[in-house]
Amino acid sequence: MSRLKSQSTALTDDPLNDICPVCKSNRYLNPTLQFLINPECYHKMCSTCVDRIFTSGPASCPVVGCGKTLRKKGFHKAFFADLKIERECDIRKRVGAVFNRREDEFESLSSWNDYLEMVEGLIFDLVEGTMKEKAKAEETLRAHRAANAKEIEDNKRAGLEAKDVELQREREEKEAVRQRRLAILREQEEDKLDVEKERREMLERLARGDGDANAITKHAQKVILKKSSARRNLAESNFADTANGSAPSNLSIRGLKKKVAPKAELAYDPFGGLDLKPARYTLQSSYENEWLDNAKNNTLHMAGGYSMNEYYSRTMFEAFSGLGIFIGDQVVEKSLPAAPATIGTVGAAEAAGGRLRQEMNTDDVF
């Protein structure tokens, strides 16, 4: 590998670089010399050698100590002079085709980053790892491909679509910039023409000799100024329009992201899926009790909006609270971490139960 590196750095001025390592023919003798590589082993050789050795079918690599079986079909020109980089890019392409998840598939940035790091680790193993690590990474890759074939395909398609949209966007942006430049040019042109025209008119009027020469010149200048500023305003409002016009392309991208969740919308539930109607008793609209009669007939209670129904529902709730709650269940629940989003009034029921006993002693409502 280090040999490869030193070769590549000195590519242009090192004549050794122009010698085929297999047949030793060089560029001096053969100006059309072209080197090919095979991504199986990345040993380079000239196209003549490739033709000579592999035309009659698969053969082993002629480089001493390699011996990998290569096919002619696999040979191609290296894009990078440094074959190490060429190899890494090939590996990245291969891994990228399998691990092609997109950021918006992840719930949080950190999980996305974790995923990226995992993929990067895999790539490193494939590029720099020992034989064992390589084999292991290779195995992971294969397993993942087999397990997620459908998702990979979906993502590939989505990726292509995103690229299309991106290209479209870039094109539109360029077009918008071009339009702007044209508009500015046109405006300048018109400006010039206008000024020219005004000046000519002024001269004509001066030549005709009607009115004060000074006044005519002043007036003409004013007209020119006014016109150009009016045009500027007009142009600005046009720009506003084109800016708005390019907005839908932004929107379409946002929509693309959301396409993942086309869940059917449920009917809006004003109660948010909660039903707090008492299950163990039915609440009556009125209860007879001597103690309550005074309050019922008291104007101060009634005019202030005191609600007997609220009192009934609370008292009934407290009377029944705690029923159907078993300490055994409670202990299990307590061991779970408190989840803030859950809905529960067990605590309220318990607390209310304690308070009720006290009240019963003092007031004895029912």
Partner 1 sequence: MAVSPLIVPGSGERGPHSKSKLSAASSGNGTPSTTLGSNSLKDVAEQMNEEEKDKYVKGKKVGEGTYANVYIGHHKSDPSNLVAIKKIKVQQEYKEGMAPDAIRELKHLQELSHPNIISLLSVFSSKDQNLNLVLEYLPLGDLEVLIKDIENIHYGAADIKAWMGMLSRAIWFCHENFVLHRDIKPNNLLIAADGEIKLADFGLARSFADPYRVMTSNVITRWYRPPELLFGAKHYSGAVDIWSVGLVFAELVIRNPYLPGDTEIDQIAKICAGIGTPTEENWAGVSKLPEYTVPSPTTPVHGPEHYLGMFGTAGPDGVDLLMKMLILDPRRRITAREVLEHRWWRGEPRATRNEDLPKKGPGSGLSRLGATESKRPGMVEGVARRLDFGA
Q: Which residues bind partner 1 (CB under 8 A)?
A: 89, 92-97, 100, 103, 110, 116, 156, 159, 162, 166, 169, 173, 176-177, 239-240, 243, 246-247, 250, 253, 257, 265, 267-268, 270-272, 274, 276, 291-292, 294-295, 298-308, 310-311, 313-314, 317, 338, 340-345, 347-348, 351-352, 359, 363
Q: Between 28 and 291, whose beta carbon lies closer to partner 1?
A: 291
Q: Between 118 and 247, whose beta carbon lies closer to partner 1?
A: 247
How far is it, in rounded angstroms, from Cα 337 to Cα 348? 18
How far is it, in rounded angstroms, from Cα 310 to Cα 304? 14
Q: Which residues contact 181 (CB under 8 A, 6 or more apart)?
A: none
How far is it, in rounded angstroms, from Cα 280 to Cα 237? 68
Strand partners, 69: 60
Least distance to partner 1, CB of residue 165, Å:
8
Burial class (CB in 10 A: 0-12, 13-18, 19+), 12: exposed
Closest CA to 96 of 125, 120, 72: 120
Tokens of 78: 């290296």
3-state helix, strand, coil in the chain (%, to 5): 65, 5, 30
Least distance to partner 1, CB of residue 155, Å:
10
Q: Between 132 and 334, whose beta carbon lies closer to partner 1?
A: 334
Least distance to partner 1, CB of residue 28, Å:
37
Closest CA to 40 of 80, 12, 14, 72: 72
Least distance to partner 1, CB of residue 225, Å:
25
Least distance to partner 1, CB of residue 219, Å:
35
Least distance to partner 1, CB of residue 103, Å:
7
The backbone torsions φ and ψ at residue 260, rounded to the nearest 5 degrees and listed phi first, read -65, -30
Least distance to partner 1, CB of residue 160, Å:
9
How far is it, in rounded angstroms, from Cα 234 to Cα 239? 9
Q: Between 53 and 176, whose beta carbon lies closer to partner 1?
A: 176
Kind plus residue range of the DSSP H or E element containing 60: strand 59-60
Q: Between 10 and 177, whose beta carbon lies closer to partner 1?
A: 177
Q: Confirm if 86 and 42 have CB atoms less than 8 A apart.
A: yes
Q: Between 207 and 267, whose beta carbon lies closer to partner 1?
A: 267
Q: Between 21 and 322, whose beta carbon lies closer to partner 1?
A: 322
Least distance to partner 1, CB of residue 361, Å:
14
Least distance to partner 1, CB of residue 206, Å:
43
Q: Between 3 and 357, whose beta carbon lies closer to partner 1?
A: 357
Tokens of 277: 């109607």
Q: Between 146 and 300, whose beta carbon lies closer to partner 1?
A: 300
Closest CA to 44 of 90, 98, 80, 94: 80
Kind plus residue range of the DSSP H or E element containing 35: strand 35-36
Q: Which residues contact 289 (CB under 8 A, 6 or more apart)?
A: 365, 366
The backbone torsions φ and ψ at residue 70, rounded to the nearest 5 degrees and listed phi first, read -120, 155
Other beta carbons within 10 angstroms of residue 343's beta carbon come to 9
Q: Between 30 and 246, whose beta carbon lies closer to partner 1?
A: 246
Least distance to partner 1, CB of residue 343, Å:
6
